[in-house]
Amino acid sequence: MRKIVYFVHQSVDGYIQGPNGEFDWPQMGPELSAWSRELSERAGAFLYGRRVWELMSFYWPRAESISKDPHDLAFAPIWRAKPKVVVSRTLTDAEGARVVGHRDLAAEITALKEEPGDDLLLTGGSNLASALTGLGLVDEYLIVVHPVVLGGGQPVFLDKERLGLRLVESRPFDSCSVLLRYEPAR
């Protein structure tokens, strides 16, 4: 069965966006960029909630005309080539992606995990990650902690109940950020 791997960037104080929704603070040095590119290349599909999908589907098809950042230029073709799945109760169609989540979220995501292929890489926001965590469907958490304190914003975990995790790896990147890889403590 495929796993759902949640990959997210967070500040030292636990936020994925600043108080005004800003996401201009992750530092994608060469080591972190290469690691995240390899992670993306190994994924069977990218998994997004609606809001993150809207940002991704605007930016990545035209990244080369917007950015000169080496990370963006290397990731854009990977993003375009990979299958994408959007989980939404409101979208009925998403150009270039399959939409699920209209009926029974647990059943639809479980069926998606049971399909053949490599793991599903869930990136970005915390709403879908929290919903899937609450259903016991996230198999691995890849949290990259960046050296910034945002002082507020959207937290990585929205869950109101305690979540036991087991650290299985930690790794520094570029003498700047740190990967914390967790699995649910079961």
The CATH number of whichever domain residue 33 belongs to comes to 3.40.430.10
Which residues form the domain of 8?
Answer: 4-16+27-179
135 belongs to a structural domain:
yes
55 belongs to a structural domain:
yes
57 belongs to a structural domain:
yes
Instruction: Return all residues near 140 (Cβ < 8 A) that are at least 6 apart.
Output: 3, 4, 5, 6, 181, 182, 183
Residue 93 has pLDDT above 90, yes or no: no
pTM listed for this prediction = 0.94
22 belongs to a structural domain:
no
Residue of 175, 186, 132, 183 whose CA lies nearest to 157:
132
Residue 53 has pLDDT above 90, yes or no: yes
CB 144 within 8 A of CB 171: no
pLDDT at 60: 94
Domain count for the chain: 1
93 belongs to a structural domain:
yes
25-37: average pLDDT: 95
Handedness of CA 128, 27, 180, 117 (dihedral sign): positive
Q: Phi-psi category of 172—alpha, beta or left, where left has phi over 0 and alpha has psi -120 to 50?
A: beta
184 belongs to a structural domain:
no
Instruction: Return all residues near 4 (Cβ < 8 A) that are at least 6 apart.
Output: 47, 109, 113, 119, 120, 122, 132, 137, 138, 139, 140
Q: Mean pLDDT, the chain, as a whole number?
A: 94
CB 82 within 8 A of CB 40: yes
pLDDT at 13: 97
Provide the β-strand partners of residue 184.
165
pLDDT at 139: 97
pLDDT at 103: 85
Residue 47: pLDDT band by 50, 70, 90 thresholds?
very high
- First-to-last alpha carbon distance for the chain, in angstroms, is 17
78 belongs to a structural domain:
yes
75-95: average pLDDT: 93
- CA 168, CA 52: separation in Å to the nearest integer? 27
114-143: average pLDDT: 95
pLDDT at 92: 85
Buried b (16+ CB within 10 A) or exposed e, 33-72: bebbeebbeebbbbbbbbebbeebbeebeebeeeeeeebb
185 belongs to a structural domain:
no
- CA 87, CA 113: separation in Å to the nearest integer? 13
pLDDT at 160: 77
Residue 159 has pLDDT above 80, yes or no: no
Residue 186 has pLDDT above 80, yes or no: no
Residue 162 has pLDDT above 90, yes or no: no
